[in-house]
């Protein structure tokens, strides 16, 4: 299969093409007879690779290859595209903490939140979308359902391939000051004495 392919969604990068080629090479070695029965010629194989590439484009090459490893270790038969999608989704979800653990992490994170170490950026974005103040100042029975809804929305977007940007750490406040000359200091001190009637 060519290294640069275009789909309806646009060009696909070389890493994903390489991953799909590796997947089919692994399938050929592990499911030899089934493989050649399913793909009797190069044309049929390339059509299938393009379909898989387009369907799996939301997953990283690492996820695709890990799903392939899991499949060959657990199944006797050549997998369908549906079973490959399920295997990839399962791996993607394993990287995300469950909603309650994510909620606890968001509530316990130190401020500034953008500088905290997150198990997954989805936790940060769900906390931000829920409002940090709201999470800190309401009981779990009120705050968790709100957080859970936001978190599930973000997890769904992540599983559809959205890349979350790391938040920019907040800049330290500018503590620089200008030294006041001696004459100005004496004048300010005198005006303070006059105001307090200390003369």
Q: What is the pLDDT along the chain (199 residues), one digit of tens a residue?
A: 555 444 444 455 688 999 999 999 999 999 999 999 999 999 999 999 999 999 998 888 888 999 999 999 999 999 999 999 999 888 877 678 889 999 999 999 998 998 888 888 999 999 999 999 999 999 999 999 999 999 999 988 887 667 888 887 666 556 656 677 888 888 888 888 888 877 6
Q: Can you say how many angstroms the Cα of residue 24 is from the centroid of all Cα atoms in its chain?
A: 27
Whether residues 154 and 107 share a domain: the answer is yes
Domain membership flag for residue 199: no
Q: List helix spans (H) across 95-167.
A: 99-108, 121-130, 132-136, 140-159
**Percentages of the chain per state (helix, strand, coil), in multiples of 5:** 65, 5, 30
Whether residues 146 and 128 share a domain: the answer is yes
Whether residues 133 and 73 share a domain: the answer is no
Domain membership flag for residue 140: yes
Q: Which of 52, 68, 94 is the last residue of a domain?
A: 94
Q: What is the pTM of this model?
A: 0.51
Q: Tell me the residue range of the domain where 145 lies.
A: 99-159
Domain membership flag for residue 182: no
Whether residues 90 and 122 share a domain: the answer is no
């Amino acid at each position: 299969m060519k290294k640069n392919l275009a789909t309806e969604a646009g060009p696909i990068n070389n890493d994903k093409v390489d991953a799909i080629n590796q997947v089919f090479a692994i399938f050929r070695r592990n499911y030899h007879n089934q493989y050649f029965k399913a793909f009797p010629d190069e044309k049929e194989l390339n059509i299938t690779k393009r379909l898989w590439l387009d369907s799996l484009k939301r997953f990283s090459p690492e996820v695709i290859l890990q799903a392939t490893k899991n499949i060959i270790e657990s199944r006797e038969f050549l997998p369908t595209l549906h079973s490959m999608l399920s295997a990839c989704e399962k791996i993607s979800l394993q990287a995300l903490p469950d909603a309650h653990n994510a909620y606890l992490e968001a509530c316990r994170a130190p401020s500034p939140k953008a500088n905290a170490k997150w198990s997954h950026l989805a936790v940060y974005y769900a906390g931000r979308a829920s409002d940090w103040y709201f999470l800190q100042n309401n009981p779990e029975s009120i705050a968790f359902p709100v957080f859970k809804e936001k978190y599930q929305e973000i997890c769904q977007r992540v599983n559809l391939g959205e890349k979350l940007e790391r938040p920019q750490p907040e800049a330290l406040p500018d503590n620089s000051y200008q030294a006041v000359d001696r004459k100005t200091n004496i004048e300010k001190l005198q005006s303070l004495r006059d105001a307090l009637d200390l003369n």
